[in-house]
Amino acid sequence: MTPLTQEVTTIASVPALLFFRDAIQPCAEQGTMLFYHGFGGSKEKVVAHLASLAEAGFLAIGLDAVGHGQRRFPHFAEMFNDERWAGEPEATEADYLAIVRQTAGEVPLIIDELYSRGWARPKRLGMGGVSMGGEITYAAIIGDPYPWLPRMGAALA
C-alpha cells in the first residue's frame, strides 16, 4: 500500500492540511472530510485524525480556525489568560464565541471552493472536530446558507 500524502495549501484563504492516499480526485470520490482542532490548537494538532480518515480512503482536510495556527492572533495569550477568564469571563467568552462564529462563517466559502476544485462531491462531504472544532461543526451546519442544497453528508463532533 502506498504511503499517505500530506500537503499544505489554502482553501478560501484558510490554511489547510490535506491527507490522502495516491491522488486527491479518487479520494474525493470516496468522500471529503473537513476537520477542525480544539481551542488553542492548530490543524497540525489533529494529524492523527486526518491520517485515520485518509487511511480509510477519504480526502481529509484539517483547517486552522480563526485566530489559531497560522492565523494565530498576536495577542491570543492576553485574550485568553487565566486572569482575564477570572476578571472578565463574559468578555473572554464573547471572544471565544466570535472565533467559533467567524470560523463557521467561512465554511460555505470553503465548501464552494472544494466543489470548484473537484475536491468534494454531493452527499460525500463531511465535517467534524475536536472540542471547539465540534462547536464550529455544529455552528456551520445550522448556519449553512444553502440548507436546500445537499452539501453535507455527515457531521460529527
Number of domains in the chain: 1
Inter-residue contact 155 to 128 (CB < 8 Å) = yes
The predicted model scores a pTM of 0.92
- Domain holding 35: CATH number? 3.40.50.1820
C-alpha cell at 26: 479518487
- Given this model, what pLDDT does residue 87 score? 86
State phi, psi for 98 to the nearest 5 degrees: -65, -40
Long-range contacts of 138-144 (CB under 8 A, 24+ apart): 139/100, 139/101, 139/103, 139/104, 140/103, 140/104, 140/107, 140/108, 143/104, 143/105, 144/107, 144/108
| Residue, of 39 and 122, whose pLDDT is higher | 39
| Residue, of 92 and 64, whose pLDDT is higher | 64
Residue 96 pLDDT greater than 60, yes or no: yes
The boundaries of the domain holding residue 72 are: 4-156
| CA–CA dist 82, 76 (Å, integer) | 12
pLDDT band at 156 (very low <50, low <70, confident <90, very high): low
Per-residue pLDDT tens digits for 31-88 = 999 999 999 999 999 999 999 999 999 999 999 999 999 999 999 999 998 888 788 8
| CA–CA dist 108, 111 (Å, integer) | 5
- Given this model, what pLDDT does residue 122 score? 86
Inter-residue contact 112 to 126 (CB < 8 Å) = no
